Amino acid sequence: MACRMNAKHGYLIDMDGVVYRGGRLIPGAAAFVNRLVENEIPFLFLTNNSQRTRRDIATRLERLGIRISEENVYTCADATASYLARQSPGGTAFVIGEGGLLTALHDHGFSIVDRDPDFVVVGECRTFNAEVMEQALNMLVNGAKFIATNLDPNCPTSSGTRPGCGALVSMLESASGRTAFSVGKPSPVMMRSARKELMLAASQTIMIGDTMSTDILGGHQLGYYTVLVLTGTTSKEDLPQFSYQPDEVVSSIASINDERLAEQALSRDLSLSFESELSAV
């Protein structure tokens, strides 16, 4: 992992809507990431897409002009596999998903089975059918535990929008009467695991995202300094409807000055610490 044990701050960075959109790099994204690499500032790209492996995503970013290592990528598939390995070492899973999720589960010691699994695990899947959903339903009814890599209802594509993991999960929840446990953003499971990979404290962690209900909510709940960029799904006009707010709003990742942002995050942390001390008096 390209990070420093004595790092004063680091970044968790969403991908779609922050560094690229519709397969095209957002202006200024590559320059921002290059500065992080040059200054040895730890960072991870976070994604709720479980289709691709870390290596696949790193290669995709490299082809867009962002040169990083696969160690700079953390997916909800990685978070899910790590979580399940802690819950049930050497367990079994029936998977509705693609290569990224299958690879992560295998790497964490899980076996993929088509009957009597410990878990039914649902991720993004472009090839699901009624037969697969029926299999999963019967496994849930018969006692398999229900895990979702994320609850995003849809996924943007180059040709429009397709049903996301959350849509498949909702169907199975409705049919089985069971509720899935979701590991991906904004779940603290993924947000905390990513921070720990960077070996940072919560007060040192800055979350950059474009979606209030995942990136910003997840960061807000864990006490990270949150930065909303307006190049993705959320506009300034949307902000009043949320009961929580980002610490900072910028037009795009190109507008972020790392040194200033780090100072802002530190200043907020000191202010919160002071308020906490006063309340304890």
- Report the Cα 257 to chain-centroid distance in Å: 23
Annotated catalytic, 152?
no
Closest CA relative to residue 70, chosen from 48, 86, 52 = 52
Of 97, 210, 209, which is closest to residue 164 (Cα–Cα)? 97
Q: Omega of the bond prior to 186 within 30 degrees of 0, cis?
A: yes
Strand 248-250 relative to strand 225-229, pairing:
parallel
DSSP code per residue over 16-71: BTTTEETTEEPTTHHHHHHHHHHTT--EEEEES--SS-HHHHHHHHHHHT----GG
Can 16 be counted among the known catalytic residues? yes
The active-site residue, picked from 16, 118, 210, 215, is 16
CA distance 224 to 215: 11
3-class SS of residue 145: strand
Catalytic residue set: 14, 16
